[in-house]
Structure 1
Amino acid sequence: MATIKDVAREAGVSVATVSRVVNQSPKASQSSITAVKAAMQKLGYRPNAAARALVSQSTNIIGVLVNDASDPFFGTLVKAVDKVAHENGKQVLIGHGYHHAEHERKAIELLINSRCDALVIHAKALSDDELIDYAREVKSLVLINRYIPEIAERCISLDNFKGAYLATEYLIKNGHNNIACISSSHPIEDTDQRISGYKAALHDYGISLPASYIEQAEPNTEGGEVATTNLLLKSLDITAIVAYNDNMAAGAIFVLEENGLTLPDQVSIVGFDDALISRYVSPKLTTVLYPIQLMGEQAAQLALNLAKGTSSDSQSLRFSPTLVRRDSVRKLN
């Protein structure tokens, strides 16, 4: 493998000149640049990225931690960060946490050790204290979909409680009282907040339902199938369902139709996220808009601003959900 000394010898220049060319120093002459690049190409020499970072104090990389990039929700988040990265001449390095503390910890450590210029972190399993420690260590770390009061100025989050409340209230205002809830089985704050929003709406409208109206499973289409099957096995009188996300709602729709129930004539349903799938299920899904693309872009820009030590143009760190009305809710007489 060729070394920087080999390149200098081939180009007929000093090692210092090769270093200036590699690090794009304005002191490098055009003739030196031409000679060094030709030598690098001939010898197959690639500069050490870590060494270049030490010189320039920048890797031009934004690190992003997500639960699972194969999930369309997190794919959208990564794409949003990537958009801002490209606008600023940077690339993205992705880590996966899978809502597991040790995975999240190892991924964050890798991103930090990779000397990323900025970090956008979606971590649900790590404690507040550990994330606060990371934020103190890395001035350009921003949390997304997580709110910690001690570092509130670095948190981009959504009011999950309000989103679930809006979904449940919409069903109530359309005449539904027997409203079930299918939610995530992951022990994270989103789960607690959305179940709490569902319960609060029922309480505020004087509706009392037993705990059996709530089922929890994996937050995907298969989980939606499992949770809805369990509801049907209980023979509950259900006219509507609030789903943790659109994927669970899609799974619920499949099970309901497989059991001869028509939507929304016999059962209405509201999802959460406004993911792409919400437009392609039948009926088209009424859902709660989670502006993850906008939030991801804002988180990435905030992280870059923090890295540069400049003030942020962010107007809102706490986003408010809105309802997207489609065809999956029927108004009862």
Structure 2
Amino acid sequence: MVTIYDVSERAGVSLATVSRVMNKNARVSDKTKEKVQRAMEELGYRPNAIAKGLASNRSNSVGVLISELHGPFYGMMMSAIETELRKYDIHSIFAAGHSDAAKEEDAVNFLLSRRCDALILYVEAVSDEFLEALNAQGTPIVVLGRDIKSLATQCINLDNEQGGYLAAKCLLEAGHRSIAYLAGPLWKHDTQERLAGHRRALAEYKLTFDERLLYEGDFQEESGVSGLNQLLAVGEPFSALACGNDEMAAGAMAAAREAGLALPDDLSIVGFDNVAYSRFVFPKLSTVNYPVRDMAAMATHWVLRHVYDQGRLSIENTFSPQLVGRDSVHRRD
């Protein structure tokens, strides 16, 4: 059986150089690359993951920890990471933390036990202090969706406060003044930031947020249904609803129809995330674009640059949300 050692001898280069060629490292000259590739062809050598990492003491795998393994938002995140890593013959190992600190810590330990070269973390429950301590252990980490000052260059985040502001501003500019708010779990950073942006937009119009029109959901469609029903039961009229994400917005739209409301004439709705199906519900959902694919790809580029020596890849740490206006917001005269 032909091994990486045989390729090294035939090409007259070190094991590390063979590994760099197989990992498509830009620091290898074209001449050396040709020698190694010719040796592999002559010997009939087919690289495998273990051999590729042998000389560099790498597993050629990246651990990815996210909150859930289902739903369009996390699907886009996983797809973007896997696609970018595959370009460099690096594999992904996925784990879910389910927004629970103990489960997130357990998942981190699992990924470390798999000898991952780096970790991409979309975590919500573990503390900043936990992530700082993890970073000090030596395995490179990049954090998605959070802004931790001590790890600022290793965080890829969204300006959620601005996103919440844009969603509310859309409704306010359309003439709505009584606006209900369907939030995600209030302990989560992104929920707090989006709600803060919502309050800021109201304050610009000299309006006070009506706490009676706030419902805490869980980012799932079912809480959009229960949330709208609860808000209607309060008895305080509202003409518009801002939702913490598109899944809850879809649930709220279904509940509104069940309650006999016409959309958007009786109730305008705006979401957050801009997941694929927001274009296909009826009416098409106005929402705030969360560039999750671009952010996940950027987190992957951070790993490729800092762990796999792909220095040409530039890094952007903070992304800006954009309003996507569609048909679910009715302009009041």
User: Normalized against structure 1, the TM-score is what?
Assistant: 0.85
Map of 1:21 onto structure 2: 3
1:129-170 CA deviation, whole Å, 9 max, x = no partner?
110121222453110101101110000000001001000011
Give the whole-Å Cα distance in 2 for the aligned partners of 1:110 and 1:128: 20
Three-state SS of the structure 2 residue aligned to 1:182 is strand
Q: Taking structure 1 as reference, are residues 54 and 137 closer, same or farther at Cα in structure 2, changes over 3 Å only?
A: farther
| Range with bigger deviation, 108-117 or 149-158 | 108-117
Give the whole-Å Cα distance in 1 for the aligned partners of 2:278 and 2:41: 58
Q: CA deviation at 1:202?
A: 0.9
Map of 2:331 onto structure 1: 331
1:186-205 CA deviation, whole Å, 9 max, x = no partner?
52101111111111111121
The alignment status of 1:80 with 2:80, answered yes or no, reads: yes
**Aligned residue type for 1:181:** Y
Q: CA deviation at 1:26?
A: 1.7
Give the whole-Å Cα distance in 2 for the aligned partners of 1:234 and 1:115: 53
Map of 2:23 onto structure 1: none
Three-state SS of the structure 1 residue aligned to 2:8 is coil
Map of 2:302 onto structure 1: 302
User: Normalized against structure 2, the TM-score is what?
Assistant: 0.85
Kept in 2: contact 1:221–1:248 (CA 8 A): yes
Pairwise mapping of residues 140-289 of structure 1 onto structure 2 (< 5 A)?
Answer: 140-185=140-185, 187-289=187-289
Tell me how large the CA RMSD over aligned residues is. Answer: 2.3
Kept in 2: contact 1:183–1:191 (CA 8 A): yes
Give the whole-Å Cα distance in 1 for the aligned partners of 2:104 and 2:9: 43
Three-state SS of the structure 1 residue aligned to 2:296 is helix
**Aligned residue type for 1:245:** N
Q: Where in structure 2 are there 5+ consecutive unaligned residues?
A: 11-38
Map of 1:90 onto structure 2: 90
Give the whole-Å Cα distance in 1 for the aligned partners of 2:152 and 2:6: 38
Kept in 2: contact 1:62–1:92 (CA 8 A): yes
Q: Taking structure 1 as reference, are residues 323 and 52 closer, same or farther at Cα in structure 2, changes over 3 Å only?
A: closer
Q: Taking structure 1 as reference, are residues 31 and 100 closer, same or farther at Cα in structure 2, changes over 3 Å only?
A: closer
Kept in 2: contact 1:21–1:32 (CA 8 A): no
Give the whole-Å Cα distance in 1 for the aligned partners of 2:281 and 2:251: 10
Map of 2:133 onto structure 1: 133
Q: Taking structure 1 as reference, are residues 30 and 237 closer, same or farther at Cα in structure 2, changes over 3 Å only?
A: closer
Greater C-alpha radius of gyration: 1
Give the whole-Å Cα distance in 2 for the aligned partners of 1:205 and 1:324: 22
Q: CA deviation at 1:330?
A: 0.6
Kept in 1: contact 2:184–2:218 (CA 8 A): yes
1:63-119 CA deviation, whole Å, 9 max, x = no partner?
111111212101110100011111111111001011111111111111122121222
Kept in 1: contact 2:186–2:192 (CA 8 A): no
Give the whole-Å Cα distance in 2 for the aligned partners of 1:275 and 1:207: 30
Q: Where in structure 1 are there 5+ consecutive unaligned residues?
A: 1-17, 38-46
Q: CA deviation at 1:54?
A: 5.5
Three-state SS of the structure 2 residue aligned to 1:269 is strand
Q: CA deviation at 1:222?
A: 0.4
Give the whole-Å Cα distance in 2 for the aligned partners of 1:290 and 1:61: 27
Q: Taking structure 1 as reference, are residues 120 and 151 closer, same or farther at Cα in structure 2, changes over 3 Å only?
A: same
Give the whole-Å Cα distance in 2 for the aligned partners of 1:231 and 1:72: 26
Kept in 2: contact 1:23–1:55 (CA 8 A): no
Kept in 1: contact 2:7–2:43 (CA 8 A): no
Map of 2:104 onto structure 1: 104
Three-state SS of the structure 2 residue aligned to 1:192 is helix
Q: Taking structure 1 as reference, are residues 31 and 282 closer, same or farther at Cα in structure 2, changes over 3 Å only?
A: closer
Give the whole-Å Cα distance in 2 for the aligned partners of 1:139 and 1:153: 15
Three-state SS of the structure 2 residue aligned to 1:212 is helix
Three-state SS of the structure 1 residue aligned to 2:3 is helix
Three-state SS of the structure 2 residue aligned to 1:238 is coil
Give the whole-Å Cα distance in 2 for the aligned partners of 1:94 and 1:30: 32
